[in-house]
Amino acid sequence: MEGNIAKLSLNAPVREEDGPRINEDIRVKEVRLIDENGDNRGVVSIKEALQVAADAGLDLIEISPQVAPPVCKVLDYGKYKYEIQKRKNEAKKNQKTISIKELKLRPAIDVHDYEVKIKQAKKFLQEGDKVKFTLRYRGRESGPVNGGKTVLDKVLDDLEGIVKVDSEPKMEGRQMIMIVSPL
């Protein structure tokens, strides 16, 4: 049983499978080497590149594996991972997630209630969110469907110039749904 247990080096950095290959994991004969100062050393053998990294007390990291020969850089692997993670976090912070805000209406909506919903819709659209208008029919209201369509048409008229229609008004069961997004 003991022979099957793999021995791990205590000094070897643990790397993810999707991360770059480092040091002895690089299995090519020649690499294009960039030393710790950022100088291009040209194409050298893997042994020479590993020796340069060992002399500097740093790791040999495969930066571009898809080119021939692969580009390797002499860096501190921990510092390299930190910089990559920092860039990912910065990119994530700068991206805008678009959410869909839902506003529920009724076919016989009062004027003030309608104005409040339009005001909310304008606020959501200014923030860059999409707005889903749901017109819910209850009981006998589901008979004249055109009454609900006129409410959604009035919404489009009031928001004209600041929205584009993603999904035209359509019936789904007992409700009519329309989705708009900012221009």
Q: What is the dihedral of CA 158, 163, 165, 171, to 10 degrees?
A: -40
Q: Using 50, 70 and 90 to split pLDDT, how confident is the model at 28?
A: confident
The residues spanned by each domain of the chain are 2-92, 100-182
Residue 42 vs residues 32, 49, 73, 150, 177: alpha-carbon distances, Å: 5, 10, 11, 72, 63
pTM above 0.75? no
Distance of CA 142 to the CA centre of its chain: 41
The superfamily (CATH) of domain 100-182 is Translation initiation factor 3 (IF-3), C-terminal domain (3.30.110.10)
Average pLDDT score over residue span 35-64: 88
| pLDDT of 175 higher than 70 | yes
Contact, 104 vs 73, CB < 8 A?
no
Where is average pLDDT lowest: 19-23, 55-59, 115-119, 176-180? 19-23
Average pLDDT score over residue span 58-73: 88
Q: Dump pLDDT digits (tens) for 66-90.
A: 888 889 999 988 888 898 899 999 8
Question: In the prediction, which pLDDT does 145 show?
Answer: 61
Where is average pLDDT lowest: 43-57, 68-82, 90-104? 90-104
Q: Dump pLDDT digits (tens) for 120-141.
A: 999 999 988 999 999 888 877 7
Question: In the prediction, which pLDDT does 4 show?
Answer: 47
CATH class held by domain 2-92 = alpha beta
